[in-house]
Amino acid sequence: MIPSKKQLLFLLLLISLFSIYNFTIYTSKTDYGTIHLSKKAIQGENIWLKNNCNSCHQLYGLGGYLGPDLTNVYSNKNKNEYYLKAMLNSGVKSMPKFKFNNTEKEALIQFLKEVDQTGYYPNTKTEIKPNGWVSIKYKNENHDK
């Protein structure tokens, strides 16, 4: 079947709309600022990676499941920096005893602190709006998306 002029025009219209749609999606800027870790936190992240903490712990639910999720451990009201240091000093149950020096422990805690500032996990601080969008409460800002 040879398409009629009308059909070809319609097809052309669809292709144009699709292109405009894609252009808009891929060139629109999001309002999410990039998260920059401090130098100390990056040192902590490297220690985290080198010692494979993620094999037992999760950040934002991703990781191994032998130990607890550590996304918000820093701001947990029942725990504090001394508690975190104690955990790193002695290890408990299946948490191994690492032989970190003070600088390394502080870097790890700084890393956990800055991870904590990025958000909540699990994020229950959400609100479903009548227009169908979900408003998510972040630690430092409130994005209406």
Which residues of the shown chain bind ligand HEC in the complex (CB under 6 A)?
48, 51-53, 55-57, 66-68, 70, 73, 79, 84, 87, 92-96, 98, 108
Which one, 24 or 78, has the nearer CB to ligand HEC? Answer: 78
CB of 20: closest distance to ligand HEC in angstroms?
Answer: 48
CB of 70: closest distance to ligand HEC in angstroms?
Answer: 6
Rounded distance between C-alpha atoms, residue 94 and residue 116, angstroms: 24
Q: 86: exposed, middle or buried (C-beta count within 10 Å: 0-12, 13-18, 19+)?
A: middle
**Helix (H, G, I), strand (E, B), or coil: what is residue 17?**
helix
Omega before residue 122 within 30° of 0, cis: yes
Which one, 56 or 136, has the nearer CB to ligand HEC? Answer: 56
CB of 68: closest distance to ligand HEC in angstroms?
Answer: 5
Which one, 14 or 66, has the nearer CB to ligand HEC? Answer: 66
b/e per residue 28-38 (b: at least 16 CB within 10 A): eeeeeeeeeee
**Helix (H, G, I), strand (E, B), or coil: what is residue 127?**
strand
Which one, 4 or 101, has the nearer CB to ligand HEC? Answer: 101
CB of 59: closest distance to ligand HEC in angstroms?
Answer: 11
Contacts with 35 (C-beta within 8 Å, 6 or more apart), sequence order: 118
Among 127, 137, 61, 53, smallest CA distance to 96 is for: 53
Which one, 41 or 70, has the nearer CB to ligand HEC? Answer: 70
CB of 27: closest distance to ligand HEC in angstroms?
Answer: 40
